[in-house]
Chains A and B, each alone.
Chain A
Amino acid sequence: MSAFFQLAALFLLLNVGAGLLRILRGRTTADRLLAVQLFGTTGTAILILLSLATGESAYQTIALVFAILAGVLGIVFARYGQPSAPASAQSQELKHELN
């Protein structure tokens, strides 16, 4: 039974890796935000499965923190994450030189 839980956790971890691909490739910031949202939900599920596999109930508390964190991070992102000021083409070029 424990091996089955481990296998499911491994499968969900591979899902997280695929979501990382979306962050790397994603065209807009909103796409990357959605991928972080996926990380939160899938991470909660992985932690629940690991707590079932090892019988350690402390992992469920970490899952609770993940669930809270996903919401807070999403709201902070939606507030600050968008490119806000009317950045001119010149400042865009400058940014690429400096980064």
Chain B
Amino acid sequence: MIGSAVLYALGGVALFGMGLYALLAYPNLLRKILGMNVMGTGAFTILIAAAYRGSDAAPDPVPHALVITGIVVSVCATGLALSLAVRIQAVTGAAYLTPDEEDAP
């Protein structure tokens, strides 16, 4: 009998893998940022599932504090990444990463 916390932790692992795939596979910067967010969400889900101790016991408070801090930090990081993406598009004219001049064949 698998407990529901284990199911949620497995879902978190799947979310992490999907976010990593999107981060690596798509060239568009906005999509990379979305992938990074989904990756972080997967990690949060694993942490909260680890803190769960059954439906009638109080859960472990330390991972909860970690995750709340993590959510706020990830919003700040997303804002910074988005403003960098807008700047990259303004300078290079493209919303995706282009190779450096000396790297180009």
Show the binding face of A for B, using Cβ within 8 Å: 54, 98-99
B64 within 8 Å of A by Cβ? no
Chain B residue nearest in CB terms to A54:
B55
Show the binding face of B for A, using Cβ within 8 Å: 26-28, 31, 55, 94-96
> Can you list 9 residue pairs at the A/B interface with Cβ under 8 Å?
A54-B55, A98-B27, A98-B28, A98-B94, A98-B95, A98-B96, A99-B26, A99-B28, A99-B31
Complex: A6 Cα to B27 Cα, angstroms: 43
Complex: A52 Cα to B96 Cα, angstroms: 48
Chain A hits for B28, CB < 8 A: 98-99
Chain A hits for B95, CB < 8 A: 98
Chain B hits for A98, CB < 8 A: 27-28, 94-96
Chain A hits for B96, CB < 8 A: 98
Complex: A98 Cα to B85 Cα, angstroms: 15
Complex: A98 Cα to B31 Cα, angstroms: 11
Q: Which 8 A-B pairs have the closest CB atoms?
A: A99-B28, A98-B28, A98-B96, A98-B27, A98-B95, A99-B31, A99-B26, A98-B94
Q: How far is the CB of A46 from chain B (nearest CB, A)?
A: 17
Chain A residue nearest in CB terms to B95:
A98
Q: How far is the CB of A56 from chain B (nearest CB, A)?
A: 11
Chain A hits for B27, CB < 8 A: 98
Q: How far is the CB of A52 from chain B (nearest CB, A)?
A: 15
Q: How far is the CB of B67 from chain A (nearest CB, A)?
A: 15
